Amino acid sequence: MRSASFFPLLLVGGALFPAPVGGARTAPADPLPSWNDTAPKKALTAFVAKVTKDGSPDFVPPAERVAVFDNDGTLWCEQPIYVQFAFAIDRVKALADKHPEWKDQQPFKAVLEGDHKALAASGEKGLAAILIATHTGMSIEEFEATVTDWLATARHPKYERPYTECVYQPMLEVLAYLRANGFKTFIVSGGTADFMRPWAEKVYGVPPEQVVGTTFKTKYAAKDGKSTVVIEPHIDLIDDHAGKPVGIARAIGRRPLMAFGNSDGDFEMLEYTTTAKGPRFGLLVHHTDTEREFAYDRKSPIGKLDRGLDEASNRGWVVASIKDDWKTVFSTKK
Amino acid sequence: MRSASFFPLLLVGGALFPAPVGGARTAPADPLPSWNDTAPKKALTAFVAKVTKDGSPDFVPPAERVAVFDNDGTLWCEQPIYVQFAFAIDRVKALADKHPEWKDQQPFKAVLEGDHKALAASGEKGLAAILIATHTGMSIEEFEATVTDWLATARHPKYERPYTECVYQPMLEVLAYLRANGFKTFIVSGGTADFMRPWAEKVYGVPPEQVVGTTFKTKYAAKDGKSTVVIEPHIDLIDDHAGKPVGIARAIGRRPLMAFGNSDGDFEMLEYTTTAKGPRFGLLVHHTDTEREFAYDRKSPIGKLDRGLDEASNRGWVVASIKDDWKTVFSTKK
């Protein structure tokens, strides 16, 4: 969009495609080349075709084409631990010098000693304490800088590459495909918005204002011709389970047309989407690939998918198996 | 966007304009015809020109072109009382049959009896009670339907036309002008998001996901294959004064490039915008026109503008006087 040169465009079904070069129109390239030609891909493309076809009884105007995506386990890898938790652990280690008391204080002691058992025993209360110690008490700009710095050097323990390269190529294609068809794509994640905003635009093409996530309370601070917003040590909204429709209602203000998730934490988001009037679409990514990724569902502490598997069929949700339905998994070869 | 026909477009400075018809390019029409050619218009167009000019040292990529607008007194008329308060009063009257206790209970008694003195005496606590009684305890969809129904018949007491026609033509032009130059336009209002979302897209061209406002806490509810989000009787965020930067950080996640307001309730939003690095722009609408609108500032209980007038010059904020700088005030002739 920065060029001032002429750029002929062709409007097709509400979407912008570059005009074909050389005169004759050629068949458009497959927008989802990393998907096998199995049922999930067929259901997805058939849905998009019917809601974007002018004159179709299911036509939906571009302004109402909202698609929401969970992040962990849907757009990028959440195993063996949530990326944001890996970040928090590294931050505890980096901040330990300033907090000598952590040596004797749980859950920090467990993190510093790599004591997984004691860490697990600290439960949700321990997790909240770690989050608050590492994610609050600073300006949003300061926090975002720590995220950016960390991502530049941190590596996924299994794939040994940056976490931002542990994103799913098939889902990047879905994001681009929907945007090319006039959709606005949003992330609606249990992770915090502050953690995703510094890189979501570059990695997913999703700008900060379309990133919805867990939030802390914040406070405005201005002094000497400068101003900022400071993150306070209090949870504002946990954007998971029933918190996802709440986050969607607050940030987006209308029902999504399509929702993509992978765990029971996304159940209510898919339910809120697909129980609305008119055509709706829900898809669950099912982690089934021990070889190329991880296989987990009903009994996993991370990304548990149990009720979703039970009810998907009755609710008309598509279940995409990584093993069977994805030709490629990651955006960069392992 | 619904047509499948060819539509040649010309990209200019990141904005989409239809290609000129008939061969020769003609000078573009004035995008702000309702503004006099006085200093505010000149400052506004000079700023937009420099941040959108490719190669300029002040060039800002389209993704970062965020402009925020207060609503009451900036985009539409807030006198003699806030439109949302007029709505709340009418809702109290409409609901009175279901609440016989209101006859003897303040502040409802004052509303039902038109007792302005008693109403004013009930203060902020009274106002909160009225808001909670009329804006919560129902689904978002139910609330939005009451707003839409009310706007269809309610009339402004002075102009005797729908409130949605008491919007400022010069500001509609600014919204369209910025969007044509690659900006995303957001409303950031002390009014509630739920109150603005049903009509902001039609009236201002601002979609629900770009409406930031005061919010109530909400709760997800699903039953028998239906689902909704219910508005609860607790304030979540008051999006006014220091709450505006908080709302911007939460919903938009980046600093605006331009901010438009009219009262001291917008002071922190303009400060947060214009104290950020790089080129920034702040504008205050000054209500100075007794004949065509209302004249009020330092002593007005509604839309008080005092500190803003004192500090605008030192902070480099533009003050636009309705009397002197606006050729036309309302979008429809009085």
Q: How far apart are CA A10 and CA B8, in angstroms?
A: 8
Q: What residues of chain B score a pLDDT lower than 70?
A: 1-27, 332-334
Higher pLDDT, A322 or B5: A322
Of B6, B197, B250, the CB nearest to A10: B6
Share of chain B above pLDDT 90, in %: 89
Of A201, A215, A253, the CB nearest to B250: A215
Q: Which chain B residues have a beta carbon less than 8 Å from that of A147?
A: none
Q: Which chain A residues have a beta carbon less than 8 Å from that of B271?
A: 222, 227
pLDDT at residue A25, as a whole number: 58
Q: Is residue A152 within 8 angstroms of chain B, CB to CB?
A: no
pLDDT at residue A28, as a whole number: 73
Stretch A236-241: mean pLDDT, rounded?
A: 97
Residue B54 and residue A2: Cβ atoms within 8 Å? yes
B270 contacts B261 by C-beta, under 8 angstroms: yes
Q: Which chain B residues have a beta carbon less than 8 Å from that of A236?
A: 250
Instruction: Provide the sign of the torsion angle of the four alpha carbons A94, A122, A162, A240, taken in this order.
Output: negative
Alpha-carbon torsion, ordered B35, B40, B42, B45, to 10 deg: -80
Q: Is residue A139 within 8 angstroms of chain B, CB to CB?
A: no
Q: What is the pLDDT of residues A50-68, one digit of tens each?
A: 999 999 999 999 999 999 9
Name the residue in chain B with its Cα closest to that of A243.
Answer: B220
Q: Is residue A205 within 8 angstroms of chain B, CB to CB?
A: no
Q: Which chain B residues have a beta carbon less than 8 Å from that of A242?
A: 219-220
Name the residue in chain A with its Cα closest to that of B245.
Answer: A220
What is the nearest CA distance from A175 to chain B, expressed in angstroms? Answer: 17
**In chain A, beta strands by DSSP E:** 9-12, 15-18, 66-69, 138-139, 184-192, 211-223, 226-237, 258-261, 281-286, 318-321
Stretch A300-312: mean pLDDT, rounded?
A: 97
Residue A182 and residue B211: Cβ atoms within 8 Å? no
Neighbours of A245 (CB within 10 A): 26
Among the listed residues B180, B164, B5, B184, the one whose alpha carbon sits nearest the alpha carbon of residue B87: B164
Q: What is the pLDDT of residues A87-130, one digit of tens each?
A: 999 999 999 999 999 999 999 999 999 999 999 899 989 999 99
What is the nearest CA distance from A107 to chain B, expressed in angstroms? Answer: 29
- Burial pattern A296-312, b for ≥16 Cβ within 10 A else e, equals bbeebebbbbeebeeeb
pLDDT at residue B24, as a whole number: 52
Q: Which chain B residues have a beta carbon less than 8 Å from that of A220?
A: 242-246, 268, 272
Residue B249 and residue A229: Cβ atoms within 8 Å? yes
Hey, is B160 helix, strand or coil?
Answer: coil
Residue B275 and residue A222: Cβ atoms within 8 Å? yes
Q: How far apart are CA B265 and CA A48, in angstroms?
A: 43
Q: Which chain B residues have a beta carbon less than 8 Å from that of A252?
A: 208-209
Name the residue in chain B with its Cα closest to that of A52.
Answer: B2
Q: What is the pLDDT of residues A158-198, one digit of tens each?
A: 999 999 999 999 999 999 999 999 999 999 999 999 999 99
Q: How far apart are CA A119 and CA B320, in angstroms?
A: 59
Q: Which chain A residues have a beta carbon less than 8 Å from that of B201?
A: 63
Among the listed residues A253, A255, A261, A252, the one whose alpha carbon sits nearest the alpha carbon of residue A274: A255
Residue B246 and residue A229: Cβ atoms within 8 Å? yes
Residue B272 and residue A220: Cβ atoms within 8 Å? yes
Name the residue in chain B with its Cα closest to that of A201.
Answer: B63
Which amino acid is residue B132, in one-letter code?
Answer: I
What is the nearest CA distance from A27 to chain B, expressed in angstroms? Answer: 16
Stretch A72-99: mean pLDDT, rounded?
A: 97
What is the nearest CA distance from B247 to chain A, expressed in angstroms? Answer: 9
Q: Is residue A61 within 8 angstroms of chain B, CB to CB?
A: yes
pLDDT at residue A20, as a whole number: 42
Beta B258-261 vs B66-69: how paired, if at all?
Answer: parallel
Stretch A240-246: mean pLDDT, rounded?
A: 98
* Burial class for B329, CB neighbours closer than 10 Å (0-12, 13-18, 19+): buried
Interface test with A, best of B11, B64, B194, B224 (most A CBs within 10 A): B11
What is the nearest CA distance from A259 to chain B, expressed in angstroms? Answer: 15
- Which residue's entry shows tokens 């605006």? B256
Interface test with B, best of A227, A267, A269 (most B CBs within 10 A): A227
pLDDT at residue A124, as a whole number: 87
Q: Which chain B residues have a beta carbon less than 8 Å from that of A179?
A: none
Residue A253 and residue B208: Cβ atoms within 8 Å? yes
pLDDT at residue A26, as a whole number: 67
Q: Is residue B1 within 8 angstroms of chain A, CB to CB?
A: yes
Rg of chain B over all Cα atoms, to the nearest angstrom: 21
Residues 218-257 of B with CB under 8 A from A: 218-220, 222, 225-227, 229, 236, 242-246, 249-254
All domains of chain A in start order, with CATH? 33-80+165-325 (3.40.50.1000), 83-153 (no CATH)
Q: How far apart are CA B235 and CA B251, in angstroms?
A: 17
